[in-house]
Structure 1
């Protein structure tokens, strides 16, 4: 028997706005179409069920072929005419006259994207960082205590619209109510916005422990809950643990609980401040030489932040009209969120030109209504360095988060791609905060500590020295060694007290060097450790409880008699 040739129906399936469209070409085709090459209506159709091209056509006259089942792109059959693009920079008009061309992506049907600008978004999303929420944040609605989202613009001036308090995930409800009342109390007590945001994150973590323990009221909080909370954060930095435990103790005091019982002094870890870190001169010069390779607005952001020595948050929210003229001199004026006051520093001609160039770019990009000097950028990819062809400016201040700040991200790429090293040949660790340390250290080395203190707007010089611009070893030696040589009096000369330095006469401890000299003179015995090294235990004057203490043999009989007497008393 001969092989029977199977006949397939010539039916093509097409995806449309309203579902699938099936066309039977042998039945429904009435020679409406002509061959695009020879304009002849003699067209034949073939079915190919086992290939991607399931239905094809062929012109009998010129043998031209083509497919009738080419895949329809998603932006056609998943097009949504009822949605508009939330990206303020997208100015393209869609098929039905709306802003952008929106279509659905993914299988769950929640995520949408714009064909023109490529932004992805979820319509009606309540997440603070979503496109929908960012559009709604521009409008400040009336404050309501019962709502789970508070806009900090109700309570603080010069605050960006991204700063919001989110109580949604704080459980249980009775605990959330107390947290809201305490946060409101802290706001009325003029705590900074950053402190309020930190408090909320601490209480959110503690609330998870309360929810896990099924605690039903404030009075049920016990020592066991506190220990479990401390155990959950034990891997974090000592400074972070200290802040969280201290905030919790303040919260308990406000609730009129026995905070001294719930939180003990031993719960607070010992704090040790690391030395300040800054970019050395070699690194700064290398970065400045390579700034031409990155986008100009990002380079200007780095230059202004380095010159002003301002905190990253203050630079991100710096006003567009930050340049001020007073008595023929120009100043850069910005708001310090940490201390809630305005600060201004002298503006050189170079930094004035940088700021004025940035102002022109902002006006050309966003118009005259944009209130900030710098903006955020999206689509920053490491693979696009150094051209960054896909980078897009957004009409909102840059993110303060070090991992999202566009300037920090691109400077890190610059350091990595250009192989920039410090004076020791190591790759520098760049953060947004390091520019403040670097500039203050530079000002201190050139003009002195008082100039650095005024530049940073510190009320106490101790803050400048301890956290930002500590003196180098060479500076300490230059100032203090002459006094130490005088005080040591190696020649054993007569030294009248009137010849001592005036600062030493006013304060006898003025020239004491803060050196760790471990004591080795112990009464009734001696230390078995090497006297040339510092004591690793540092128990002095409680050396008798140390395992390295060796008692003197001359008092052995005395110790024996005392021990016998105490033993006899205890038995009686």
Structure 2
């Protein structure tokens, strides 16, 4: 039996079987006198001669893949990495997934050769496409003045799915109007995406012209969207549509007969949690030192205390309801400045009001 002097001979050559980090350090011995090792990366411990579980997978071509084994000849597909220490990780969605030990990012097999991938791997970026209003693909870099990114796919506005043609023309005018206001590209694409959902409903409802859009159409659209999206999505849809109708009517693109076509009550209400009550000790200290606070804050505290209202609710009260508290406000704000009555010189025998 070979006797190993671990403290003298071991130079931290072992690799962690869990995270594959090189440099296991000594961590004492077990009850069976086996040497223990600890990983400084994942903090897990292993013993010498431990059982290593090897997971293997067989693909549709009957090729066996072992988890954690390095694959020779593979290069990380991420532009800023290009590492060659690639190992097999797992099967997911009928594809093999590999992981780079250098950047710890995943890459799947059979990467789709899209225009974006080819440009990124070749380190060549698409040129800015000149703007043409009639095109269904707009390169926003040609319109916006605040874009300095070479990744063109992030700044392409697609109008192909916006139908019918009369609605597409209005959407183009709206997006171009926002471009002239130099709105962020993310805002433009978000507005276009929400209008695309409304265009799909226009097709399904067989709406042939803009004059057919009325209050009942909006209500039916909200009802249909509740089946596919959540409350936050409906709020975004209605917000974009309200802005679209307002700008279009102001610019003269169309005429809205019903100015109240989208109401504020149509958006789902946000559920807010009840505020935490102020502790009694804090409230007592505020009341004792109320005269030290600025006048507007002190007045707000007194009004909220006596009316049991939030500032947003108290501002709706009429002034006459607060006039009876005016003397209380003055007395509470500056108690040290209260005017004290001065004694007048009088005869003790004749004046009974002072004595």
TM-score normalised to structure 2 length:
0.46
Return the structure number with greater relative CO, CA threshold 8 A, min gap 6.
Answer: 1
TM-score normalised to structure 1 length:
0.30
